[in-house]
C-alpha cells in the first residue's frame, strides 16, 4: 500500500503565504529592515505566560508553559530600537507598507476595507518580545488565476515579522531582533482539492505575482509558506516553515500519507472500544531497578520515575504500519519529546533496547495483562511526567478520530514533526496602543490603478528578454532571484554583457554556494565593484569567480583584499608574452610533434600560471599566434 490516490482520500490543501515587503523602514518604527552581521546588545527575559486578554487559556500556550524557558535576545542599534525591545509603544504605521499591501490586495481582486484595525495575535514561543504579533486585516475575498483556473483568496493581512531564531537549546532560546517588525503580507488562500504538484503550481504563481510588483523582498527566507492540510474531512494540520517549492510538494505528499495512515489506524482502533482510566497508569520504577538498559539506568540515576500505561486489547496497535514509517508509536514518541522527555517504549517493540524478556514479563505481571493487551513505558521527572502521561492517554483516546488538529513543522528531508497543539480561537485581541487606520476611497482607487498598470510576471520576463537580449530561462532566473535589482544596476552603464552578468549572478554564485560557501558574505557592493573593475579592464573575466570565492569563504572582507590574497590582477602584455614564450620553449617537443594541436595542452599549463591575471581568450589567441609563427 505505498501508492496513494489523492482524490480518493480527499486531500485538501490551503496555502498561507508570508511575503516580506521591500520597504525602507519597519512596520511600526523607523529602524531599517536589514540583516545585522553582529549584535552589540543582549538581554534576556523569561517566557511570559500567554493568557489572552479575553480570559480564555490557550491550549497551545498551556502546552508551551510546561517547558520552562529563558529567552535571550540579540540586537543591533542599526536594525532595532526601543520598539523592538517593547520598551516604547509602536510608532505610526509605515506608509509604504500600507500602500504595497493595498496594491497586492487589488492585484488579487480582494475587497479592501475602509478601516484597518490593528490586532494582537498571541505568540507563545518568545519570537516576539511583546508576547504577541501585530496583524491587520486589509482585505477579504478575491481570486488568484492559476493556469486559467480561479483559486479563492480568503484574506490579505499586513503583519510584522517575528524575531529570527538563532539557536534553540534545552532550556534557553536565542533570537535576534533584526527581523522583528519587518513588514510582511500574509495571503490566505481557500483550501483546494488537488495533487501536491498542483499546490506547488499555485505557490509559484502567487510568488511570481508578488515579485512582479517589484515591491517585495526576494530570496530564501523572504517568502514562507504555511500549509493547512487535511484528508477525508479529518482534523486540519498546519505545517509551518516551508521555504522552498520543491520541499512544499514533498511535504504535502508525506502529510497526505501520514494522515491517511492515521485514519486507517483509527478505523482499526474503533473496533476495539478502548477505555483508559486512572487505574491504568501505574508506577513501575521499582520493577526496573535491575534493568540493564542504559536509557532506563540513566533515568533512574537522575531520580526520574518510570510509569506504565495499560491499554486493554491494544496489542499490535502501536506498531501497525499502514504506510512505511507511519505508526501510532512514532507519533507518541514525537509528542513526549516536546515535554523534554526522550521517548517511550511500547509493547509492540519490546523486548529490545536492552530491556530483556524478563523485564517485560515482570511489567506484564505487575499490570495484570492478558495476551491481547498492550502497554507503554515512559520515564521522566514528576511534573513533566504527569503532563506527558496525560497527553499520551488523550492521544490514544483521540486516535479513533484519525488525525488530531495540530501544528507541525517541516523537516529538511520532506517530512513533518509535531510542534504543538493547534492554538484556540482566543488568540486574537485588539491592539490598544494604535488607533484604527483609515483607508480613504482615493487610496483604494490609487491601488487599483497601480495594479492595472503593473506588468504581470510574464510581461516582466518578456521585457527583460528584449531589453537585455537574454534567453527566457536566464530572464526567469534573474527575475525570480535575489539579484534582480543588482543585475539592472550593473547593466545600467552598458559596459558589461548582460548575458555574462546574469550567468555570474544566477549560476556562478549559486555553484559556489553549493560547494558550501556563504553567499551572505558577498555583499552587493562587492559585486558592483568587481564588475566595475572588469568593465574598466583592470581584471579579466576569469577573476570574478576567484574574487567571489575568496570573499564567500570568509578569507577576505573586501574586493581589494581578495585581489591581493588571490594574486588577481591584469598582468601587462610584456609579462604575459614572456610567460607564454617560456612555456612554449619548455614544451618544444610537443609543439614540433603536434603543431597547432598542441595549443590545447599549452593552454592548460598557461592558465594554471596566469589564472585570474589574464583573460583565457587573450592567452589562447597569443598561444595560437606564437605556435603558428614557429
Q: Of all helices (H) and strands (E), which one includes residue 489?
A: helix 484-491
Using an 8 Å Cβ cutoff, are 150 and 157 in contact?
no
Say how many residues touch Zn ion, by CB under 5 A.
5
The smaller minimum CB distance to Zn ion, of residues 31 and 474, is found at: 31
75 binds Zn ion (CB under 5 A): no
What is the distance, to the nearest Å, from the Cα of residue 364 to the centroid of all Cα atoms in its chain?
45
The smaller minimum CB distance to Zn ion, of residues 40 and 469, is found at: 40
**CB of residue 181 to Zn ion, shortest distance in Å:** 6
163 binds Zn ion (CB under 5 A): no
The smaller minimum CB distance to Zn ion, of residues 32 and 45, is found at: 32
Count CB atoms within 10 A of the CB of residue 330: 16
Give the orientation angle of helix 196-212 with respect to helix 457-468, to 10 degrees: 60
Only one of the segments 50-58, 82-90, 438-446, 621-629 lies at the binding site for Zn ion (rule: CB under 5 A); that segment is 82-90
The smaller minimum CB distance to Zn ion, of residues 81 and 599, is found at: 81
The smaller minimum CB distance to Zn ion, of residues 34 and 425, is found at: 34
The size of the chain, in residues, is 630
Among positions 15-54, residues that touch Zn ion (CB under 5 A) are 29, 31
The smaller minimum CB distance to Zn ion, of residues 81 and 100, is found at: 81
DSSP assignment, residue 51? B
**CB of residue 29 to Zn ion, shortest distance in Å:** 3
Can you tell me which of 13, 75, 81, 287 binds Zn ion, judged by CB under 5 A?
81
**CB of residue 27 to Zn ion, shortest distance in Å:** 10
Q: Where are the beta strands (DSSP E) in 41-102?
A: 41-46, 70-75
Among positions 332-351, residues that touch Zn ion (CB under 5 A) are none
**CB of residue 180 to Zn ion, shortest distance in Å:** 8
**CB of residue 66 to Zn ion, shortest distance in Å:** 33
Only one of the segments 81-89, 352-360, 402-410, 454-462 lies at the binding site for Zn ion (rule: CB under 5 A); that segment is 81-89
Q: Which residues pair with 154 in a beta bridge?
A: none
The smaller minimum CB distance to Zn ion, of residues 29 and 598, is found at: 29
**CB of residue 79 to Zn ion, shortest distance in Å:** 8
97 binds Zn ion (CB under 5 A): no
**79 φ, ψ to 5°?**
-115, 0
Cα dihedral sign, 159-164-168-174: negative
Using an 8 Å Cβ cutoff, are 324 and 2 in contact?
yes
83 binds Zn ion (CB under 5 A): yes
Only one of the segments 78-86, 138-146, 411-419, 472-480 lies at the binding site for Zn ion (rule: CB under 5 A); that segment is 78-86
As a whole number of angstroms, the distance between CA 63 and CA 420 comes to 7
- DSSP character string of 395-432: HHHHGGGSSPPEEEEE-TTS-EEEEEEPP-GGGEEE-S
The smaller minimum CB distance to Zn ion, of residues 86 and 381, is found at: 86
User: Can you tell me which residue has the cell 534573474?
Assistant: 478
Strand 237-242 versus strand 406-410 pairing type:
parallel
List residues binding Zn ion (CB under 5 A): 29, 31, 81, 83-84
Amino acid at each position: 500500500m505505498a501508492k496513494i490516490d489523492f482524490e480518493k482520500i480527499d486531500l485538501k490543501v490551503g496555502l498561507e503565504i508570508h511575503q516580506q515587503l521591500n520597504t525602507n523602514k519597519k512596520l511600526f518604527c523607523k529602524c531599517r529592515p536589514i540583516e545585522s552581521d553582529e549584535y552589540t546588545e543582549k538581554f534576556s527575559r523569561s517566557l511570559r505566560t500567554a493568557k489572552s486578554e479575553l480570559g480564555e487559556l490557550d491550549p497551545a500556550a498551556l502546552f508551551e508553559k510546561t517547558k520552562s524557558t529563558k529567552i535571550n535576545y540579540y540586537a543591533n542599534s542599526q536594525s532595532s530600537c526601543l520598539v523592538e525591545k517593547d520598551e516604547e509603544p509602536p510608532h505610526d504605521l509605515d506608509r509604504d507598507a500600507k500602500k504595497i499591501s493595498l496594491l497586492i490586495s487589488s492585484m488579487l481582486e480582494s475587497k479592501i476595507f475602509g478601516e484597518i484595525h490593528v490586532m494582537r495575535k498571541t505568540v507563545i514561543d518568545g519570537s516576539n518580545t511583546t508576547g504577541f504579533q501585530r496583524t491587520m486585516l486589509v482585505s477579504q475575498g478575491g481570486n488568484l488565476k492559476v493556469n486559467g483556473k480561479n483559486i479563492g483568496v480568503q484574506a490579505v493581512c499586513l503583519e510584522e515579522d517575528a524575531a529570527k531564531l538563532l539557536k534553540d537549546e534545552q532550556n534557553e532560546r536565542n533570537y535576534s531582533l533584526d527581523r522583528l517588525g519587518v513588514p510582511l503580507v500574509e495571503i490566505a488562500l481557500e483550501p483546494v482539492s488537488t495533487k501536491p504538484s498542483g499546490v506547488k503550481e499555485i505557490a509559484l504563481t502567487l510568488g511570481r505575482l508578488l515579485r512582479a510588483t517589484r515591491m517585495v523582498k526576494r530570496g530564501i527566507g523572504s517568502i514562507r509558506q504555511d500549509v493547512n492540510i487535511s484528508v477525508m474531512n479529518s482534523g486540519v494540520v498546519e505545517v509551518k516553515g516551508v521555504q522552498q517549492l520543491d520541499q512544499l510538494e514533498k511535504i504535502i505528499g508525506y502529510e497526505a500519507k501520514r494522515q491517511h495512515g492515521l485514519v486507517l489506524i483509527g478505523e482499526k482502533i474503533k473496533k476495539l472500544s478502548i477505555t483508559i482510566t486512572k487505574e491504568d497508569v501505574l508506577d513501575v520504577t521499582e520493577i526496573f531497578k535491575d534493568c540493564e538498559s542504559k536509557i532506563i539506568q540513566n533515568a533512574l540515576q537522575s531520580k526520574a520515575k518510570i510509569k506504565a500505561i495499560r491499554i486493554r486489547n491494544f496489542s499490535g496497535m502501536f506498531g501497525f504500519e499502514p504506510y512505511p514509517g507511519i505508526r501510532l508509536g512514532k507519533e507518541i514518541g514525537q509528542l513526549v519529546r516536546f515535554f523534554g522527555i526522550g521517548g517511550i517504549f511500547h509493547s509492540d517493540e519490546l523486548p529490545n533496547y536492552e530491556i530483556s524478556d524478563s523485564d517485560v514479563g515482570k511489567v506484564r505481571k505487575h499490570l495484570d495483562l492478558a495476551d491481547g493487551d498492550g502497554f507503554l513505558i515512559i520515564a521522566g521527572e514528576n511534573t513533566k511526567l504527569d503532563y506527558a502521561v496525560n497527553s499520551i492517554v488523550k492521544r490514544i483516546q483521540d486516535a479513533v478520530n484519525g488525525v488530531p488538529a495540530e501544528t507541525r513543522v517541516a523537516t529538511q528531508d520532506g517530512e513533518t514533526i509535531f510542534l504543538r497543539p493547534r492554538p484556540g480561537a482566543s488568540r486574537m485581541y485588539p491592539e490598544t496602543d494604535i488607533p484604527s487606520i483609515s483607508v480613504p476611497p482615493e487610496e483604494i482607487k490609487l491601488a487599483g490603478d497601480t495594479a492595472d498598470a503593473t506588468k504581470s510576471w510574464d510581461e516582466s520576463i518578456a521585457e527583460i528578454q528584449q531589453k537585455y537580449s537574454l534567453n527566457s530561462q536566464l530572464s526567469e532566473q534573474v527575475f525570480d532571484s535575489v539579484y534582480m535589482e543588482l543585475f539592472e544596476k550593473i547593466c545600467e552603464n552598458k559596459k558589461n554583457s548582460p548575458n555574462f552578468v546574469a550567468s555570474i549572478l544566477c549560476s556562478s554564485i549559486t555553484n559556489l554556494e553549493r560547494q558550501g560557501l556563504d553567499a551572505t558574505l558577498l555583499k552587493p557592493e562587492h559585486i558592483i565593484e568587481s564588475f566595475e573593475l572588469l568593465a574598466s579592464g583592470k581584471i579579466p573575466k576569469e577573476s570574478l569567480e576567484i574574487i567571489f570565492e575568496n570573499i564567500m569563504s570568509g578569507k577576505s572582507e573586501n574586493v581589494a583584499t581578495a585581489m591581493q590574497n588571490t594574486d588577481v590582477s591584469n598582468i601587462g602584455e610584456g609579462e604575459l608574452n614572456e610567460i607564454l614564450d617560456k612555456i612554449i620553449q619548455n614544451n618544444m617537443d610537443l609543439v614540433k610533434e603536434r603543431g597547432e594541436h598542441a595549443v590545447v595542452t599549452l593552454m592548460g599549463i598557461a592558465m594554471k600560471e596566469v589564472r585570474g591575471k589574464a583573460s583565457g581568450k587573450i592567452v589562447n589567441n597569443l598561444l595560437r599566434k606564437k605556435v603558428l609563427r614557429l
